[in-house]
Amino acid sequence: MRLQRLLIPLLVVGALGALLVFGLLRGAPDKDIESVYLGQSAPGFSMELYEPYHSEYGPTFDFAEYAGRPMVVNFWASWCLPCYQEAPVLQEYWRQYQDSGVLFVGIHTQNRDHHADGLTFLSQFGLSFPNGYDPSSEISIDWGLYGVPETFFVDADGRVILKHIGPVTPELMDQQLKAMLQ
Amino acid sequence: MDLQLAPLGSAAAFLAFGLALYGAIAGMVGASRRDARLQTSARLSAVAGFIVATAALVVMQVALLTDDFSVSYVATTSRIASPTWVKVVTMWAALEGSILLWAWLLSAYTALLAVTAPLNPLRPWALSIMQWVQVFFFGVVAFIANPFELVPFPPLDGPGPNELLQNHWMMAVHPVLMYLGFVGLTVPFSYAMAALITRRPGTEWMTQTRSWTLTGWGFLSAAIIAGGWWSYEVLGWGGYWAWDPVENVSLMPWLTATALIHSVQVQERRRMLKPWNLILVITTFSLSILGTFLTRSGVVSSVHAFGAGPVGPAFLVFFLVVTLVSFGLLAIRWDDVRDRADLDSVVSREGSFLGVNILFVALTFAVLLGTLFPLLVEAISGDKVTIGAPFFDQVTLPLWMLVLLLMGIGPLLPWRRAEQQRLKHNLLWLGGGFLVAGGLAVLFGVHKVYPALTVALAGYNIVSLGLLLSGALVPRLRLARRPALQVIRSYAHESRRRVGSMITHFGVVVIALGVAFSAGYRVDQQVRVDFGESVEFEGYTLTAVDRYVERTPQRISAGVVIDVSRDGRLIHTMRPRLNQFGDRRAVPTPAVMYRPSHDLYLNLNSQVTPTTTFAVLRVVKSPLVTWIWIGGFILALGTLYSLSGSSRTVPARASVGVEARGEEGASA
Amino acid sequence: MTLTRRLRAPALLTLAVTLALALLGVWASAQEVQLETRVFEIARQLRCPTCVSESVSDSSAPIAQQMREIIQDQLVQGRSEAEILAYFQTRYGDWILLDPPKRGIHLVAWLLPIIVGVVAVSVVVLLARRWLTNSRRPVEATPEELARVRSELGLDPTQVDEPRTGRTD
């Protein structure tokens, strides 16, 4: 009789405990929310490019124009420290892969009224792939950004195969670029 | 001899742990064997433990104040440039230090209990339980998250505490109040456990701890309101409560503690609800541990959380042990505890306290569900969802309204059964108060449902207080042959609990009004104003005069000077700013203009550099928000007043052979 | 005479136009305040993506500010609250909503309190009923207990009383 009564608190506490242990084990929340676009068509965008890229790509960049090419879409901001870490990595891989059909495009976002700071960033790293400005952050909101830097890998059919949060690493670039070009 | 602070502090922590362990075991053995010497030894160890814990505290403070970066906690949390008061409060700014503070407060309460608690069969067991809790906390300090670890190569300077925690004086007050509340509620828990162990589950454990429970509840209430005020002045969005997980976990034990302080009155008077009160006190303590786990383990995300650490699993284990042992004990002793309850009528004081229990437990459940729901969903389906303010508001608001409703009628109901005539009379008056206040509110333009309802219920409650006072005073005035003022004063003097509760309930009404209007009629805007230009907001003209820079050893701040005018007259100058503490990210200091009718709140949302020509401000007008803080103050006063009477024994002029037991008779 | 009459018409016209413009301005600014309030009302239901559990209305982060501007633009365009919330939902997923849609597993969050509430109230009602009947039942006491009570009261312990309806105080 007495032990039966023990059962109720035992069950409730046990269930709560199991839930909390799960919470402990899965680590910090919010860090790995999947993009809604994973496996879906990427939302397009069109933006004004920075001056150095006008000669080769024109004054504006329209995502739809480059359909059929796999793309690496990188979002950055001049105030974002990890963006400084990944910029040389991106430039290096662009240099290696620019003739393979993959297109790299960078978007300076979440930094209203700081057009000039973007130019400084670009010249500091000598980025030769097209970069443009998204002053109202509409593009980053359209793509469901949580912060910067974030990089999207889009295959030739226009589908998002990966959204990477944080600075890119050489390993990631190797892995994804190989996969995209198969 | 070069006295190093780190090993000294560690030694103190170890010693405190050892003393607590000894006291816990000696106390239990002494209690079960009724060995007075062991019991005394346990009491002494409690006092010694407090002295040693104080030593550890002092060592930490000295280390902080002398910038001794060889102590790990100082190296990770403090900074040379911080002002002295910041260094003092840095002790509880981060995880390890906050646990040290909690452990110290616990040892203080235990020592106080050891010295002042009257001798009875419960005491040694209760003390022992308190010391077991100390064993856990000092164990964490000594073994798991030791703030006194020695840093072999001390850095030249540290990063300083979290920028949000060095920004405002409330940091010195709020955490201490919070821990005083949690620790205070450990005492009734310990006595309840003692009652179960000694098979004396009657009123004894409650009357012994009544003051402690009320004190703990009072501190917790003050902590929650202080926390709200702090958020208001620091976080920059003009609000004070966001249903953030850390806020919720401080609210939940408060809700069950509120149910407890009301429900114990039913047990005192009618010897009912004994098992329920035990469940409530165990739940209150468990929730405080659960809350500490949630905020120190990284399981829930929050702006306030201390972050993940090795401490998380320890608290989880402690939580599970506490709940299993205490509920298990309750289950084993159930037959002793079960009482024959009888209710003469639902419309009675007992009935209203039942209502209090239901409402507050429902609120606790709603808050718990909302806080843990994202975790639950993720465990079941892997989806990530967010439960935010809209859920909590929608689910809890009707319950808060019912609480206000009950608060007005409950104290008016007599025990056992309400007499029809009197009840009708009271209901008529209450209904009148409700309708008049509500009608006036609607007439004066309050058309939103909850604010209008709150005003109506405020009127209803004020009428209730009037009826209570007149019901108590009128007969006395009629019978007494002394001047009226004297009668009133002696009534206030004698019935401290009653009067204190009236004051406290009045404070709740004031808070309710403040919350209803500041939430319902708040006006938010984001404006961009060039220097030298003005912008209109809600009848005020805000002129951005200029930027300014402030440098203190602790921070660099850049802000704007805003002149606030109304009808052409300058009424106030406000200086919201953004602060940079060392290398940490910038945090705002909003500017608040406090007025009884509404606050004007300005927060700087753009960086101000020497070349910027404009400022982006968030401007908020919150009606009646100051009333929340005032109401909190009234609530605290009422609690103090209740407590001031309870430790005196009132000698009753009684007939021979009957023991003196006035209402305030049981000393706690 | 004729001069003033000739001047009167344009003066009146100017006055009328000024008045109309002033009213228009007042009306527009009143609209704007209303719009701003609506912006924050909608923003309150969205979670700021870069913050740790703050709503878009509370946060001062740049992305939150820009989301509020998007909300404002869409309100000006005439979109409804549901449409605006859906706009962000398609881009971020259900996670962005602080007030999860009342479908699927989210429904549990809304139903559970109601179910538990109903269960709890029923339990209390049943208990209260039992307690009400308890008070009408006489207290059971063994003959020994009764004898002891009587001796304590100084009465004859052997005398047997009629059972009374018990009051437990």
* Residue range B357-367, pLDDT digits in tens: 999 999 999 99
d(CA B636, CA B510): 13
Half-sphere exposure for A34 (CA within 13 Å, toward CB): 10
Least confident of B30-34, B52-56, B285-289, C15-19: C15-19
Q: Is C81 on the interface with B (CB under 8 A)?
A: no
- State whether B237 and C112 contact (CB < 8 Å): no
d(CA B231, CA B244): 11
Note the pLDDT of residue B383. 74
d(CA B650, CA B642): 15
Tens of pLDDT, residue by residue over C50-66, are 776 678 888 877 788 88
Chain B hits for C56, CB-CB cut-off 8 Å, are none
Note the pLDDT of residue B651. 46
Chain A hits for C63, CB-CB cut-off 8 Å, are 110, 137, 140-141, 145, 147
Chain B hits for A5, CB-CB cut-off 8 Å, are 331, 334
Note the pLDDT of residue B652. 45
Report whether A172 contacts A91 (CB < 8 A): no
Residue B46 has pLDDT above 60, yes or no: yes
Least confident of B515-529, B632-646, C90-104, C148-162: C148-162
Choose the most confident range, by mean pLDDT, from B108-117, B291-300, C46-55, C90-99: B108-117
User: Domain C1-101 sits in which CATH superfamily?
Assistant: Cytochrome C biogenesis protein (1.10.8.640)
Element (H, E) at B261: helix B245-270
d(CA B501, CA B635): 9
Average pLDDT in the B328-333 region? Answer: 88
Report whether B638 contacts B500 (CB < 8 A): yes
Q: Is B313 on the interface with A (CB under 8 A)?
A: yes
Residues 6+ apart with CB under 8 A from A91: A125, A126, A127, A128, A129
- State whether B298 and A9 contact (CB < 8 Å): no
- State whether C62 and A33 contact (CB < 8 Å): no
Question: Which is more confident, B339 or B657?
Answer: B339
- Shortest Cα distance from C49 to chain A (angstroms)? 5
Report whether B175 contacts B98 (CB < 8 A): yes
> Which residue, chain included where needed, has tokens 């000024």?
C18
Note the pLDDT of residue B49. 95
Note the pLDDT of residue B113. 93
Q: Is C52 on the interface with A (CB under 8 A)?
A: yes
User: What is the domain partition of chain B in residue ranges?
Assistant: 1-161, 163-411, 412-520+627-646, 524-622
Report whether C46 contacts C59 (CB < 8 A): no
Chain C hits for A111, CB-CB cut-off 8 Å, are 62
Q: Is C105 on the interface with B (CB under 8 A)?
A: yes
- Shortest Cα distance from B243 to chain C (angstroms)? 10
What are the tokens at B186? 């450990």
Instruction: Please give the residue of chain C at the shortest CA–CA distance from A143.
Output: C91
Using DSSP bridges, classify how beta strands A103-109 and A60-62 pair: parallel, antiparallel or unpaired.
unpaired
Chain C hits for B239, CB-CB cut-off 8 Å, are 58
- Shortest Cα distance from B4 to chain C (angstroms)? 40
Report whether B395 contacts B370 (CB < 8 A): yes
Instruction: Please give the residue of chain A at the shortest CA–CA distance from B334.
Output: A2
- List B365's β-bridge partners, or say none: none
Q: State whether the Cα torsion B303-B304-B310-B311 is positive or negative.
A: negative
Q: How many residues does chain B have?
A: 668
Among B424, B435, B507, which Cα is nearest to B465's?
A: B507
Average pLDDT in the A62-67 region? Answer: 87
User: What is the domain partition of chain A in residue ranges?
Assistant: 46-180
Average pLDDT in the C21-45 region? Answer: 63
**Maximum C-alpha span of chain A:** 86
Cis? peptide before A149, omega within 30° of 0:
yes
Note the pLDDT of residue B665. 37
Residue B85 has pLDDT above 80, yes or no: yes
Residue B567 has pLDDT above 90, yes or no: no
Residue C161 has pLDDT above 70, yes or no: no
Phi/psi for A161 (5° steps) reads: -100, -20
Question: Which is more confident, C141 or C164?
Answer: C141
Q: Is B282 on the interface with A (CB under 8 A)?
A: no
Residue B570 has pLDDT above 70, yes or no: yes
Which value, to the nearest 10 degrees, does the dihedral of the CA atoms of residues B85, B243, A26, B365 take?
120
Option in C112, C113, C134 nearest B342 (CB): C134
Residue B306 has pLDDT above 90, yes or no: no
d(CA B311, CA B302): 17
- State whether B525 and C55 contact (CB < 8 Å): no
> Which residue, chain included where needed, has tokens 């850049």?
B558
Average pLDDT in the C74-98 region? Answer: 87
Residue B411 has pLDDT above 70, yes or no: yes
d(CA B3, CA C1): 105
What are the tokens at C129? 């009923």
Note the pLDDT of residue C13. 63
Note the pLDDT of residue B95. 86
Chain A hits for B384, CB-CB cut-off 8 Å, are 29-30, 33
> In whole angstroms, how far apart are CA C69 and each of A136, B126, B238, C81?
9, 59, 19, 14
Average pLDDT in the B78-106 region? Answer: 90
Option in B323, B335, B375 nearest A19 (CB): B375
Report whether B13 contacts B71 (CB < 8 A): no
B1-161: CATH, from 3.60.70, 1.20.120, 3.40.190, 1.10.10 = 1.20.120
> In whole angstroms, how far apart are CA A132 and each of A128, B6, B668?
12, 54, 73
Report whether A127 contacts A90 (CB < 8 A): yes
B221 by DSSP, 3-state: which?
helix
Note the pLDDT of residue A158. 86
Note the pLDDT of residue B128. 95
d(CA A18, CA B380): 12
d(CA B646, CA B642): 7
- Shortest Cα distance from C40 to chain B (angstroms)? 7
Note the pLDDT of residue B179. 94
Chains contacting chain C through 3 or more C-beta pairs under 8 A: A, B
Band of the pLDDT at B151, cuts 50, 70, 90? confident
Band of the pLDDT at C164, cuts 50, 70, 90? low
Residue C24 has pLDDT above 70, yes or no: no
In C14-53, the residues whose Cβ lies within 8 Å of chain B are 29, 33, 36-37, 40, 44-45, 47, 51-53
Average pLDDT in the B464-476 region? Answer: 91
Report whether B396 contacts B425 (CB < 8 A): no
Note the pLDDT of residue B104. 96
Among B532, B550, B535, which Cα is nearest to B619's?
A: B535
Mean pLDDT across chain C, nearest whole number? 74
- Shortest Cα distance from A56 to chain C (angstroms)? 31
- State whether B301 and A24 contact (CB < 8 Å): no
Chains contacting chain B through 3 or more C-beta pairs under 8 A: A, C
d(CA B380, CA B21): 41
Instruction: Please give the residue of chain C at the shortest CA–CA distance from A136.
Output: C66
Note the pLDDT of residue C103. 67
Chain C hits for B389, CB-CB cut-off 8 Å, are 44, 55, 98
B351 by DSSP, 3-state: which?
helix
> Which residue, chain included where needed, has tokens 């902590």?
B223
In C53-82, the residues whose Cβ lies within 8 Å of chain A are 62-63, 66-67, 69-70
Among B598, B554, B509, B488, which Cα is nearest to B89's?
A: B554
Radius of gyration of chain A (CA): 22
Q: Is C5 on the interface with A (CB under 8 A)?
A: no
Note the pLDDT of residue C29. 44
CB pairs under 8 A between B and C: 132
- State whether B383 and C105 contact (CB < 8 Å): yes
d(CA B450, CA B464): 20
Give the pTM: 0.82
Residue B308 has pLDDT above 70, yes or no: no
d(CA B142, CA B9): 9
Average pLDDT in the B63-75 region? Answer: 90
What are the tokens at C58? 């509370």
Residue B118 has pLDDT above 70, yes or no: yes
- State whether C134 and B386 contact (CB < 8 Å): no
Option in A6, A9, A19 nearest B379 (CB): A19
Average pLDDT in the C85-100 region? Answer: 84
Phi/psi for B552 (5° steps) reads: -125, 165
Least confident of A3-7, A29-33, A156-160, B448-452: A29-33
Band of the pLDDT at B48, cuts 50, 70, 90? very high
> In whole angstroms, how far apart are CA A57 and each of A47, A97, B437?
12, 17, 70
Report whether B253 contacts B288 (CB < 8 A): yes
Note the pLDDT of residue B127. 95
Option in C60, C95, C169 nearest B384 (CB): C95
Band of the pLDDT at C169, cuts 50, 70, 90? very low
Chain B hits for A23, CB-CB cut-off 8 Å, are 297, 299-300, 375, 379
Band of the pLDDT at B5, cuts 50, 70, 90? confident
Note the pLDDT of residue B608. 83
Tens of pLDDT, residue by residue over B539-557, are 899 999 888 888 888 888 8
Chain A hits for C56, CB-CB cut-off 8 Å, are none
Tens of pLDDT, residue by residue over A72-113, are 999 998 877 788 888 899 999 999 888 888 999 999 988 777
CB pairs under 8 A between A and B: 67
Note the pLDDT of residue B662. 40
Yes or no: is domain A46-180 CATH 3.40.30.10?
A: yes
- State whether B327 and A13 contact (CB < 8 Å): yes
The DSSP code sequence of C2-28 is HHHHHHHHHHHHHHHHHHHHHHHHHHH
Radius of gyration of chain B (CA): 27
